[in-house]
A and B are shown apart, each in its own frame.
Chain A
Amino acid sequence: MSEEGPDIGPVEGVGSVEHAYYERNEPLTGVVLLPGQEEHDTGEHPENIRRLPPVVKRLRESEDWEKLFVMHPRSAQIEDIARSHSDAYIESIRRADAEGPAWLDTDTMAGPGSFNLALRASGAALTAVDAVAMEAYWQPDSLFALIRPPGHHAPPDRAMGFCLFNHASVAARYAQATYPVERVAIVDWDVHHGNGIQDIHFDDPSVLYVSLHQWPLYPGTGSVDEVGAAEGRGFNVNLPMPPGSGDREYGEAFDAVVEPVLEQFDPQLLIVSAGQDGHAADTLSNQMISATGFRDMAARMAAFTDARGIGLVVLHEGGYNVSTLPQLDHAILGGLGSFPTDLKDVFAEGAAPAEGWSERLAEILSVQKEFWPGLES
């Protein structure tokens, strides 16, 4: 150590940008990149190798790149995955990698490279958990793992809905096994219900799952009365959003349900399953969320974790319009890091109120009041 103080240099293998992070006044956010994402090549499929490179390109070309804490992932170990998936299922993905390509369900494929990439994608989630949970001078407040394939549909014993390993669940259980973290909350704003996360944690009171999803829509699960089972009853909170829901409805859902439930649950780590397929220009849904809407949801989650001094890990799930995804992911980082990004969004302008939302919100509140008495009508 020099006489002037600690000699702070770049942190080899952790972040690529040299900063005196400990002196910062602004929240520090960043990304976990996924090298080799093209190894899981699904061809002409909405979940394909062309989704994430434009996101990274936009970030790299932006002045905001220098503000971001940039990390590269390690691979998850089999024992990390086995906390959420059966051994037989993990082996089946390894076999598909070795002997495939093979269709694992009607819309999920795996082939050469898929197994290792899925391990690395889960590993990116674990890398993010490590970074926000370790008490280090360079500790970021939040990290956004830009990963694929997504994970939230994968139940314990099979692949489903483009997903192989359930990264959010794997990350939650890794945090509980590795750090003094007992309660983990997962907020999932992907437009599809994360049936896999729900299945894995349905009777688990230590992991709160809150999902905002278009309903009805694939996979068909996620009704308001799926509240958990046994000791986990009440810790599964579904907000089935009517088709056409946009910033207005999602904002009201956060105000009325998501944030009050999080407050009461008092998590020690917050994981967001961030699927941007509810955007107004995504071809797989009917929702009308704008770039501003995604920024606001991210900013709300960052404000929540900042107020509690806990870590925030954001995991990329869906989002299939490769033209608009870069702007949306950039907006999320802007929300996490409190810096402005381009939010002009012609696709969501003038979105009409979603039909049936008021009644749906009342129904959600009436069900959830049994478990979360602080909720107000």
Chain B
Amino acid sequence: MSAMTIAEKILAQHSGKESVSPGDLLFAKVDRILGTDVTASLSIQVFKDMGAEKVFDPSLLVLVNDHFVPAKDIQAAQLSKNMRQFAHEQGVDAYFEVGRSGICHSIVPDQGLVKPGDLLVGADSHTCTYGAVGALATGVGSTDMAAAWALGELWFRVPSTIRVEVTGKLKPFVGAKDVILHVISKLGVDGALYKVLEFHGDTIEAMNIDERITISNMAVEAGAKSGIIPSDEITLTYMKEVGVHDAQLLDADPDAHYDSVLRVDVSDLKPQVAKPYLPSNAVDVDEVVGQQLEQVVIGSCTNGRVSDFEVAWRLLQGKKVHPSTRLLIIPSTREIFQQLMANGWANDFVEAGAVITPSTCGPCIGGHMGVLAEEETGLYTTNRNFVGRNGHPTSKVFLSGPAVAAVSAIRGKITNPEVMF
């Protein structure tokens, strides 16, 4: 049996093979299939066109209301209604309703619906997030999702893997987002096309699950199929917290074959900001300080977790958001929002002048609840800043981690937290 990367091990195991190699085409059983209010309806139509009546196994399905909820308009309400009816007809337990829901990429791990070694597909490009707990997870289209619902399996082309070694202790105000923006700037938006990024090194090993989620979440911004982190004791502790007691340690074989190895020393890394209109446009924050901001958003599937809000709260408590700037705080799930309230942070954010929105993808996709007008500029902790993504085509979005976002909201312009404190 040949040595394998983590992705190769997972695909071999799920296709009943001893070993697989990059380029192999195979059918593999999936452990979960994620759909959201924006993608499930299309798949339901395809599912019916396939002549399917019952899903292969309702326990494989996860259906989350997060993109246009609470319903933005009649059309969005209909999309959620279609998904709700389908979940009911098919007996899907993992259906998440508004109020008990959240952003899918926080819901899936926090509800114990993914574990190390799992193979997961989702009709959402940031499905790659679950690499944070050692799963191979990737985004697929609506036809693929419908076929997976019907068959419990899907075809895959075994991707090659780029090993990313991240080493060094991060400086104050520098976090996981700065690391991944820096890595993507080295790879380019298509630098990992059809490949998997496998993250190693002492910087990654020192990160908690929230931080690892930020890393894996953005793998797709370098074109990657997924971004996987080996599971370790930190992973297993988290899995127990979310009620999964059979999680295993998982790493690549020592002599596994990699497409290439990228070594990044982050000991001197400065806070990073990705300029419009690509996530790969990361520069040191100093290069863009002073840029006026109409809106700052802290949240999303990239940076909407307790650790992210803790970073923001430390910088924002007792301060005021600049009069010409709007600050949106989006806790990813109900439980994260409850934590913000229990810690008193929610009140401090509101005192500072922020608005706390429901758990939604809204502003990140320019959907609702904080869309940008013509010529407006934002600084978001989200994952994409393509032309028009967050509002009017002439609007601009810079991407950063929560520390830069928090101090920039106070100053009303892009600010380096190292200088401010």
A, B in one complex:
no
